[in-house]
Amino acid sequence: MARVWRFSEEKTALYYSGTETGQHRNGVGIIVRREMQQSVINFISYNDKIMLLQIKAHPVNVDLLQIYAPTSDHSDEEVEDFYADLENLTRNLKKHEIDIVMDDFNAKVGKRSVPGVAGDFGLGQRKERGDRLIEYCQEHDLIITNTIFKLHPRRLYTWTAPGDREGQVIRNQLDYILTNRRFRNATYGVKTYPSADAATDHNILIANVKIKLRSQKKTIQTTNTGRS
């Protein structure tokens, strides 16, 4: 299901890709400010875990991919299906554009660096699904931006486990922002905001990226692939 909600009071629009069950158990979305909406040229709702928003910018356009990878409760086969869907959606994207893949990968990359992919400033120990994410980045020349900036761990962890409320400190880095390796210098800061007022066990993760937006005069394209 592809939907676009425009909120006049907040001067924003929500591009949403999810299910039609009404339960809202899955779904991904991107909120766009009014001044940025005129630069949106394409919206593809792939399924309830992957969507694409294309932005007209300078010197090249930007492809924003919002994702929600299967959790640890799901099988390896489901994880591979997720990466296959992601591969299918990005296969025809233009190589010279900026790709930003973001949100909850449900994977632990850890603090061990991988040249050209992950820096020295991840958290914890890498797990098997972290290896799978590294493999995906290597295949597509992507870098995990929130592992390359030296910050206090408080600005690195993205998820707090329920046990933390019982006196156990269980905090992990599961959410990431990926971008093309050749555009690494366009990203000049990535950190979390653990004190943000949001009803979620995930922290807000923000990347600062230097791009110049351009207005799009043609009508925006919206595609619902109907994938499940």
Residue-range domain boundaries for the chain: 56-224
Overall pTM > 0.85 = yes
Q: For the chain, what is the radius of gyration of the CA atoms?
A: 17
Distance CA 162, CA 160 (A): 7
Owner of token pair 């629009």: 13
Provide the residue type at 34 as one letter.
Answer: R
Number of other residues whose CB lies within 10 A of the CB of residue 94: 10
pLDDT for 8 beyond 80: no
* pLDDT average, residue stretch 28-45: 93
Decide: 34 and 213 in contact? Cβ < 8 Å: no
Please name the residue that has the structure tokens 């206090």. Answer: 152
Q: For tokens 């025809």, what's the residue?
A: 92
**Residue 47: phi, psi to the nearest 5?**
-165, -165
pLDDT tens-digit readout, 140-172: 999 999 999 999 998 999 988 876 555 666 789
CATH top class, domain 56-224: alpha beta
47-81 residue pLDDT tens: 999 999 999 998 899 999 999 999 989 999 999 99
- Cα(41)–Cα(97) distance, integer angstroms: 14
